[in-house]
Structure 1
Amino acid sequence: MVTRDRCRGALLGLAVGDAMGAPTEGMTPEAIHAAHGRVEGFLHTQASGTDDTEYAVLCAQGLLAHGRRLTSNDVAAVWTRAVLSQDGGFHGAGFSEMGAIANLRAGVAPPVSGNDNHESWSDGAAMRVAPIGVLCAGDPVEAARLAREDAQVSHAADGIYGAQAIAAAVARALVTDDHTEVIAAGLAAVPEDTWTARLLRQALDVASHAAGMAEAERELYRRIPLFHYPWPDSAPEAVALAFGLFAAAEGAFVPSVVSAVNIGRDSDTIAAMAGAMAGALHGETAIPRAWRTKVRQVSGVCVTATAGTDLVDLADALYEASQGNEEYENAT
């Protein structure tokens, strides 16, 4: 049964992975080890999340305002209110989000705002949809449908499929104790003959044959990344790595997130997705207290309108929404 603890775990797990993985983003495992050794915690005292956490807050705000009636146009309206009016730059923003913002400013509505986008297949939608899983706890099919509505603002094709996988997996994780059911729900949410599905299956195969986390981490890095592409943020790659590490860790929170941080590539997003799934599966109590305390208040370093958001309060509001309590709308 879904609990507040698990809903909090999903959002705090996302934020922990995001903040912990940010310093190693874009690095190779060898470079991470040379600079930091094995990263097993936050590298900086004042660690904060990135756009991954902050766009997840915007996702949650849309859900709290519209519930399961949410449409892509509703999501665009949230972005218009919170993002398009922002003064100054967007520190650390992804290309997919900036492309969508430019489209929305030009009056281009979804789904064209997501189709006409240089990085429509990036992991920028998958990184933010854990709140959808919380709202749709126990209903992965509905979670995938709503993830598509959210993702279409900024993404298309595999960018959407990655979001569907994460939202569905979180929805299932909230109501089961079996990590294999979480993986199955995520995989079922992706069209079978797609780049995302193929890479997901390959990553899961690697994880199933690995003798422990160290080998899984090493082999996933060797076989999954798209080294020929200059950016490490493709949704098929990042989602596959998140699921592969989650599978190898059998859903345990700390090893899932720590391995995601140390694998490099788009490590903040990989760790955020793995953290959301593992946090939903085990609840906030599976996350070390010092870690979850550090990320509870959102900094707003990229999307300034999210600054000061309390992730525990946000998770509790989504929990109430998932239970059909209409009073949750007051949270917005």
Structure 2
Amino acid sequence: MWGRVEQQDFRSRVRGTLLGAALGDALGAPVSALALDQVRTAHGVDGLADLASAYGRRGAVTAATQLTLFTVDGLIRAHVRRDTGAWHPPTDLHRAYRRWAVTQHEWGPDERRKDDGWLAREEWLYARRDPDRALLAGFGDDRLGTLQEPKNPTERGPSAATRSAPFGLLVGWEPQLVLQLAVECAAQTHGHPTAYLSAGAFAVLVHALARGDSLDAAVQRTLALLAARPGHQPVTDALQQALGAVRQGMPSPGRVDALAAGRTAEASLGAAVYCSLVCEDIRHGLRLAVNHGGDSSAVAALTGALLGAMHGETALPPAWLTELEGRAALLELSDDFAMEMTQSAALHGPGISSPGWLARYPRGG
């Protein structure tokens, strides 16, 4: 049973994770394609220190945040569908991601699609924000990529990892199951082992932090779980390099630049772990996470999720939150997720009629 204090703490960590990831994504978006010297040329010797304009506004998010929202939506829908006996979360997540794919080629919501739920009717999501080829190809048809037959088997980018924080918020699950679900869902677009294992490792890190562990303990648990997985060594090496960089002295953009080089999933994850270990303050951590030549929005989104899961929503910079695109929807979805995970028996189930909840998260579709 969840007590009142436990429910409040969990909701704060869910909000912290999802809002923190979105803030990092938005902060890094204007400089994500730039080398470190270009970032300094554009924003001064200290680099980017505040939200800047991307996609025509300050605080704009990328496809990473869009897909994170649909990950949450898919997890809620999977939880709701358990009442029917239909329990295959990767399928429910794939359906959610396919709903995101619709937003990338249509002008706006179609009210005729009753089973889409409320998130797919959010007009601000109908904007293409630089999704990579692997995302568009992976979710471009109804075929479900699996570990046995993954989509895009050579793809090593970070965009499967950046959508995977919500898996870590399944705090009632064992960490090995969180890892497995995140890996299976990542393989729907990113079939290279280092990409899907990075997504799984990130989810396990969030999971440990959301349960109240320290980041050091979370990293050690993640390394232990990774060791049993074929193809884990590049991801393990990236995490070990992050730990080694912590011992090399004061944090610096140069160290982040070295860790994030290559723009792969494991490099982005290693850089994010480093930023989270050396900067417990979220504002400073996110600033460090965007000022380098790697994938700034990805590294910062991963960093924001880790620090948000660790500290909860009250640690997030209020001024940045005010300008964050989609903040209202992020809060609404965060609270719905927390409610579903802690109070599902009162929302739906045998003998319980909750038409309002099931209209938001239909069992079909």
Normalised by the length of structure 2, the TM-score is: 0.77
Query: Does 2:218 align with 1:182?
Result: yes
Aligned partners of 1:242 and 1:274 also within 8 Å:
yes
Paired position in structure 2 for 1:210:
248
Paired position in structure 1 for 2:19:
12
Q: Distance in 2 between matches of 1:113 and 1:145?
A: 13
Cα shift readout 1:90-139 (whole Å, capped 9, x = no counterpart):
3411122022033x2xx533227972416532211100011111233674
Paired position in structure 1 for 2:171:
136
Q: 1:158 to 1:324 in 2, by over 3 A?
A: farther
Q: Which of 83, 92, 95 matches 1:77?
A: 95
Cα shift readout 1:24-45 (whole Å, capped 9, x = no counterpart):
1021222111110221210135
Query: Does 2:204 align with 1:168?
Result: yes
Report the aligned-residue RMSD: 2.5
Q: Which of 223, 239, 243 matches 2:269?
A: 239
Cα shift readout 1:211-233 (whole Å, capped 9, x = no counterpart):
2222xx3124235513xxxxx2x
> Offset of 1:3 from its aligned partner?
2.4
Q: Secondary structure at the match of 2:98?
A: helix
Q: Which of 39, 49, 56 matches 2:68?
A: 56
Q: Secondary structure at the match of 2:58?
A: coil
Cα shift readout 1:264-315 (whole Å, capped 9, x = no counterpart):
31100110000001011001111111212322626xxxxxxxxxx6111111
> Offset of 1:70 from its aligned partner?
4.4
Q: Distance in 2 between matches of 1:119 and 1:315?
A: 33
> Offset of 1:12 from its aligned partner?
0.3
Q: Distance in 2 between matches of 1:150 and 1:235?
A: 15
> Offset of 1:324 from its aligned partner?
4.8
Paired position in structure 2 for 1:285:
314
Greater displacement, 122-131 / 193-202: 193-202
Q: Distance in 1 between matches of 2:251 and 2:48?
A: 14
Give the total of aligned pairs: 309
Normalised by the length of structure 1, the TM-score is: 0.84
Q: Structure 2 counterpart of 1:263, which letter?
A: H
Q: Secondary structure at the match of 1:11?
A: helix
Q: Which blocks of at least 5 consecutive residues in structure 1 are unaligned?
A: 227-231, 299-308
Larger radius of gyration: 2
Q: Which blocks of at least 5 consecutive residues in structure 2 are unaligned?
A: 1-5, 108-126, 349-356
Q: 1:131 to 1:116 in 2, by over 3 A?
A: closer
Query: Does 2:289 align with 1:260?
Result: yes
Query: Does 2:130 align with 1:92?
Result: yes
> Offset of 1:143 from its aligned partner?
2.0
Q: Secondary structure at the match of 2:290?
A: helix
